[in-house]
Amino acid sequence: MTVHIGAKPGDIAETVLMPGDPYRARWAAETFLQDAKLVNEVRGMLGFTGTYKGNRVTIQGSGMGMPSLSIYANELMTEYGAQTLIRIGSCGGMQPHVAVRDVIIAMSATTITSPSSGIFKEINFAPTADYALLAAAVAVAKGKNTTTHVGGIYSSDVFYSERPDLDEQMVRHGILGVEMEAAELYTLAARHGRRALAILTVSDHLQTGEALPSEDREKTFGDMVEIALDAAFT
């Protein structure tokens, strides 16, 4: 048990999926895992452990933003021995060829700042995904009826951005989408020698203003979760 995770020793699997929304964690566990058991509910940040095709998996909510994710990822790695951590969540599309409902597999995550920024001082550390996990996810995605993109994303530390000039530069440099957690996850995984990946569903688009209707999200998010689970055990 840690300050933020009430799970007992052995309750957390070595493979952990991390949606931001704790209720999405519950939905994913009930939908994709067998014998899912609630292992954490401290501060309402739900976590479940069950099996997927015979493999133990934990699905633990991370909260919104890099500071929140940093707390849970740190504790999962250092106190519970998590080895593979995959963020599953939504993002905003930034490129014209990236459409709502598409899935982005994040090769790298650009950010202005994160909870880890202070330790690097003048260095601009480049947070990247684990290559083997990335390659496995790409291979799995080819078998899905979902348009998938692989490339860089932007992890923002604000939800309501007032920097259109920054968005323009992200688009100019090929960034596929924007979200709020992956850069810190990739940095922590590098620090602790773990595997990390972010697989994201495009739920809205910064250029077109289109947004995914709530009734359509479950099916599309399901594809993302299946890609994450199958990639983890490839």
Active-site positions read: 204
**Helix orientation angle between 214-232 and 22-32, rounded to the nearest 10 degrees:** 70
Alpha-carbon 59 to chain mean position: 11
The CB-side HSE value for 221 (13 A sphere, CA atoms) comes to: 23
153 within 8 A of 200, measured Cβ to Cβ: yes
138 within 8 A of 194, measured Cβ to Cβ: no
Neighbours of 179 (CB within 10 A): 24
26 assigned ligand-binding residue: no
61 assigned ligand-binding residue: no
4 assigned ligand-binding residue: yes
48 within 8 A of 164, measured Cβ to Cβ: no
Return phi, psi of residue 57, to 5°.
-140, 140
20 assigned ligand-binding residue: yes
State how far the Cα of 162 lies from the Cα of 234, in Å rounded to an integer: 41
194 assigned ligand-binding residue: no
87 assigned ligand-binding residue: yes
172 assigned ligand-binding residue: no
Q: Which of 114, 129, 127 is nearest to 200 (CA)?
A: 129
**Helix orientation angle between 66-78 and 182-192, rounded to the nearest 10 degrees:** 30
Name 85's bridge partners: 16, 196
204 assigned ligand-binding residue: yes
161 assigned ligand-binding residue: no
The CB-side HSE value for 111 (13 A sphere, CA atoms) comes to: 27
Feature table: binding site for a purine D-ribonucleoside: 4, 179-181, 203-204
Residue numbers belonging to the annotated binding site for phosphate: 20, 24, 43, 87-90
Binding-site positions: 4, 20, 24, 43, 87-90, 179-181, 203-204
